[in-house]
Homo-oligomer: A and B are copies of this chain.
């Protein structure tokens, strides 16, 4: 067997469950690929090779365990794992072994997933760049904070990896790395056992190379196995383009990406694709998200700030101090605002639209020295708690991938996956259609 590492999660699972390929062979292909590429990509904070092989052998011998039977998976190092060190991207937690798995990790193992290793996260999933590079060009960032997961999937090291998004940490790296990233509805996947930044915003999700792959991942992570089956839409959706109030930040390649998306949308939509402005209840959404995040981080990391201030980066210390300076009145006001904004958007989805298309990032991945990129096009959607999925759609002047995100109404995760599949199948570039 050759090139097993290039199978999508969906293809691999099909072959594994028919016993056409072995979990051990798939795992070894992934390990080979990691061996070839890791010195450049630096996607992994730890690998559990021996445990993974033991697990794969047992799965090859035993009955089919579940949705992820025999699939090697990368887990963002923000998620607790009982058998792999869990650093949260911070030197405070070097060699830290939690006593349990995060709930979503336990559910993936229960479904037969093989946790191959932990992928690099930025420091507590905040903004300081980690060591990981973009597999398309090692001079560029893979995005953050789910840097290692996005890079590992894009580099064919694993077919599936977990991420988390508090501002733009799934959708942005997926766009920068040219893969599919799925941030389901807020609360769809348990946050238990994932280092907490913001109770209001932290959303778990995953990366894959196809819509079917991320559907499988979130089905297992959430326990909602209905999500695993994705069909194209039976009815034409009403689609709108939402350039958002941050459109002035969009670079040439993102403007192109939205133009392409508009053409694709027109080919699959019911009626005209319109430019949609969010209801006025949403004015100031991005700013409110940023304040809520800073305010909550200053409390979530109170323990580390109190006991290990010297092990926190100057950038994070500044964030914590800025957050502590936001008054509780302001924070409470922002939460109330967010609640009204959610109502406003829910009404919009009820009455006018089924799917929104929006930029995933200002442009292609910045150079490493310039940080992990700006989450500005994701902050608002994260605060609204809506399901979002990134699809690769074009590339920029440096030849790096550029994506767009599809967004569905509250709780419409399954519908979003179907819409994304339909959309991907209508892309002009046949190679990109493989994302479906």
What is the size, in residues, of chain A's interface with B at 8 Å between Cβ atoms?
Answer: 36
Collect the chain B residues with CB atoms within 8 Å of residue A110's CB: 302, 306
Is A103 interfacial (CB 8 A cutoff)? yes
User: A296 to B187, alpha carbons, bound, how many Å?
Assistant: 12
Collect the chain B residues with CB atoms within 8 Å of residue A291's CB: none
Is A118 interfacial (CB 8 A cutoff)? no
Per-position 1/0 for A300-339, Cβ under 8 A of B: 1011101000000000000000000000110010001000
Is A394 interfacial (CB 8 A cutoff)? no
A99-B93 in contact (CB<8A):
yes
Contacting chain B: which of A29-37, A127-135, A222-230, A277-285?
A: A222-230
B300-A192 in contact (CB<8A):
yes
Tell me the smallest distance from the CB of A389 to a CB of chain B, in Å.
20
Task: State whether A107 and B190 are in contact (beta carbons under 8 Å apart), knowing that A224-B328, A328-B224 are contacts in the complex.
Answer: no
How many identical subunits does the complex contain? 2
Contact of A199 among B190, B300, B303 (CB under 8 A): B190
User: A142 to B223, alpha carbons, bound, how many Å?
Assistant: 35
Is A101 interfacial (CB 8 A cutoff)? yes
Tell me the smallest distance from the CB of A82 to a CB of chain B, in Å.
7
User: A72 to B328, alpha carbons, bound, how many Å?
Assistant: 26
Task: State whether A300 and B224 are in contact (beta carbons under 8 Å apart), knowing that A109-B306, A187-B199, A192-B196 are contacts in the complex.
Answer: no
Q: Which B residue's beta carbon lies closest to that of A86? A: B99
A103-B328 in contact (CB<8A):
no
30 residue pairs of the A-B complex, CB under 8 angstroms, read A82-B303, A93-B99, A96-B99, A98-B99, A100-B303, A100-B304, A101-B303, A103-B196, A103-B299, A103-B300, A103-B303, A106-B302, A106-B303, A106-B306, A107-B299, A107-B302, A109-B306, A110-B302, A187-B199, A190-B196, A190-B296, A190-B300, A192-B196, A192-B199, A192-B300, A223-B328, A224-B328, A224-B332, A225-B328, A226-B329
